[in-house]
Amino acid sequence: MNILSLLLAVSAFSATPAPEAVTYGFSTASMDTKADPCSDFYQYACGGWLEHNQIPADQSRWSRFQELGERNKLTLRGILEARMADSAGRDAVDQKIGDYYASCMDEGAIEGKGTGPLKEDLTLIDSLTRDGLPALLARLSSSGVGAGLSFGVAPDYRDARTNIGHADQGGLGLPDRDYYFKTDEKSVRLRQDYQAHVAKMFELLGEQGKAAAGSSDVVMDFEIALASASQDKVARREPKNLDHKMTRAELSALAPGFDWEKYFAALGAPAFENVNAASPAFLTELAEMAAKESIGRWKTYLRWHLVHSRAALLSKAFVDEDFAFYGKTLTGAQELKPRWKRCVEFADAQLGEALGRRYVEQTFGEEGKKRTLEMVHGLEKALDSDIAGLQWMSAVTKKEAKTKLDAITNKIGFPDAWRDYSSLSIVRGDAAGNAARADAFETKRQLAKIGKPVDPKEWLMSPPTVNAYYDPQMNNINFPAGILQPPFYDNQMDDAVNYGGIGAVIGHELTHGFDDEGRQFAANGDLKDWWTKEDGEAF
């Protein structure tokens, strides 16, 4: 569970003064000392920062998280631009990140290719047969196209030491299944805007107005059917609702009409016996649609998800239309981010540990790692004391809670071993191809984990990320180097200030081990209640 939901009041504790005297760490200028802290502590602590900060036009929200994120992007931009030149001195890591970024920034080459990067997949979609649907869904999924279902790899809920494949719901163009069913005026209008956007994307692919509108209707019908069988967000917060381990034969019986063997073979999955059907009703519905929906309608749905997934690295018309809905309409951002920001974000998302390696070398020292770990230990000791003093928790549960707390692993800054990208081909001048190959590389890397022991040292965020998370199955807390910067953490400040910044983040992540999701996992990460029935009712 990540930290982005932490209150702005915490992040604004060490805040920025007016622009004419900008600092990045703690400053009393961010406070509003005229406010009464006893009646409005938020205004007292954050009023100065709020007065001097507006949401930038290319952002949908603004807090100290986004502010630091923008600063980190500038650092990453410098790293990437310094490695764009095709010089003999570049090593393999620098070649990949430099050529990826250079290709992304080459607007002329991207414009010149038009819809060329889609041609091969569009041809395969046009020639689709019903028997070929599972293999095509697998192919598209492996290169980052989120059509139909999703298939990923994660620890087994019943044995957190082993990885297992998880077949799950997916295939929606809107952020969540509830977007398809809310009846308030804003939601109805949003769906209309979505359908108009889908139609415009089909027009950019060459369909005429009426035909494009008809294709948009097909997409909406398809996605409503998938959404209706999907679990909502509340249900998915209960881990037991996602735990449906079964054999491959049992999966075929659960969702007949879809050739799972063809799907797994085309995906490139290794041999395995068991799989977790995370959302059984969805998989049953998907299989029924695979058997009964017309292939023509499937083709329309797949064309949409292909262009949607690739739009950000296509020509300007696609980029602008993609932003018009997913940026402006959906999130409220008023302007498209400058190209360099988008390319930095893409590089971080797809080559995160290669780029992150250079980021860590430039920004993060051993002193910061050592001091942060000392703070973590101090907060764990304080939480231990709090648990011991709880009046409502039974002695049995306190013992289990202490066992779990003592078993939490702390990961600070960056991985112990860097990811090997040597098998990933980055071709200068092929931005869309690089992105698709990077997605395929990651899919292959993930699939190789099936049936293998979980690596407790692996990170789920790149080092420059301004965030943190608790992993309930791994029972660990993770703090990337990207958030261990001012204002959250500052090597130049004393512990009191750092406890008020990153200390709040550390405490936030620790408590996830004992909240409505974390409390269901034992110290070893297996899905097992560690509290007594009476204690559970007290939550």
pLDDT of 533 strictly over 70 = no
Please identify which residue in the block is written with the tokens 């936030």: 508
H runs (alpha helix) in 391-490: 395-407, 431-447
Say how far apart CA 315 and CA 167 lie, in whole Å: 33
Q: Could you tell me if residue 295 is inside a domain? A: yes
pLDDT of residue 11: 37
Per DSSP bridges, beta strands 476-480 and 409-413 are: parallel
What are 437-463's pLDDT values in tens digits? 999 999 999 999 999 999 999 999 999
* Cα 66 to chain centroid, rounded: 16
Neighbours of 353 (CB within 10 A): 20
What are 226-253's pLDDT values in tens digits? 999 999 999 999 999 999 999 999 999 9
Give the pLDDT band (50/70/90) at residue 138. Answer: very high
Q: Could you tell me if residue 294 is inside a domain? A: yes
Neighbours of 329 (CB within 10 A): 16
Token pair listed for 320 = 């602008």
The secondary structure element, H or E, covering residue 159 is strand 159-168
pLDDT of residue 2: 55
Q: What is the mean pLDDT of residues 192-203?
A: 98
Please identify which residue in the block is written with the tokens 């809920």: 157
pLDDT of 83 strictly over 60 = yes
In the sheet that holds 476-480, the strands lie side by side as 409-413, 476-480, 469-471
Give the pLDDT band (50/70/90) at residue 8. Answer: very low
Q: Could you tell me if residue 258 is inside a domain? A: yes
What are 384-408's pLDDT values in tens digits? 999 999 999 999 999 999 999 999 9
CA angle 120–143–126, rounded 5-degree value: 30
Please identify which residue in the block is written with the tokens 């009646």: 39
Q: Could you tell me if residue 520 is inside a domain? A: no
Which one-letter DSSP state was computed for residue 453?
B
Q: Could you tell me if residue 133 is inside a domain? A: no
pLDDT of residue 13: 35
Q: Could you tell me if residue 108 is inside a domain? A: no
Q: What is the mean pLDDT of residues 69-93?
A: 93
Q: Could you tell me if residue 507 is inside a domain? A: no
Say how far apart CA 68 and CA 71 lie, in whole Å: 5
- Report the domain count for the chain: 1
Q: What is the mean pLDDT of residues 422-451?
A: 97
Beta-bridge partners for 277: 167
CATH, residue 155:
1.10.1380.10
pLDDT of residue 18: 34
The secondary structure element, H or E, covering residue 134 is helix 133-142
Q: What is the mean pLDDT of residues 3-8?
A: 41
41 backbone dihedrals φ, ψ, rounded to 5°: -65, -35
Q: What is the pTM of this model?
A: 0.92
Q: Could you tell me if residue 410 is inside a domain? A: no
Please identify which residue in the block is written with the tokens 């689709």: 128
What are 335-388's pLDDT values in tens digits? 999 999 999 999 999 999 999 999 999 999 888 899 999 999 999 999 999 999
- Note down the domain range covering 177: 144-313
Helix axes 431-447, 92-105, angle to 10 degrees: 130
Token pair listed for 269 = 């999955």
